[in-house]
Amino acid sequence: MRMKAILPTLVLLSLLAPTAPPTRARTEEDPCAPEAQRSPQLMACAEREFRQATAELTRARADLNADLEPRSRVKLRKAERLWLNYRKSNCDTEASIYEGGTIQPLIELRCMTRVTRERAAEIKAQLQELRGS
């Protein structure tokens, strides 16, 4: 009699058990996956992309710096300090229309990523011009 009561429960539990890992687990592993739509995932993806853009800029800056004369290196350092201030101010402004909202930090970080990639491209173009490529 007791076995008859347990059997329907076991069948029901086996039907309810997931057969494949949930989508949520995949998006937690890769916050940039297309199905990642939660704020923490979007921020994690934006942070990863910003780190990649910053690394690209650092490499481009180092390549250009290696080819410059000492006086030009000083000017490049000064320009980069000013550019960092510009980037921060520009992206603060861009994100300010969302002030107080949960999306504001994401908008600011995406702006910083975009502007950083643009600056890396500018520096790479300067390097090509310097090398005559």
Q: Which residue in the block uniquely carries the two structure tokens 């600011």?
A: 108
Q: Read off the tokens for 124.
A: 């790479």
Q: What is the pLDDT of residue 18?
A: 53
Q: What is the pTM of this model?
A: 0.74
Domains within the chain, CATH numbers bracketed: 38-131 (1.20.1270.180)
Q: Read off the tokens for 71.
A: 């006086």
Round to whole Å and give the CA distance between 108 and 94. 7
Q: What is the pLDDT of residue 38?
A: 79
pLDDT of the chain along its 133 residues, tens only? 455 556 455 444 455 555 545 544 444 567 677 776 777 888 999 999 999 999 999 999 999 999 999 999 999 999 999 999 999 999 999 999 999 999 999 999 999 999 999 999 999 999 999 998 6
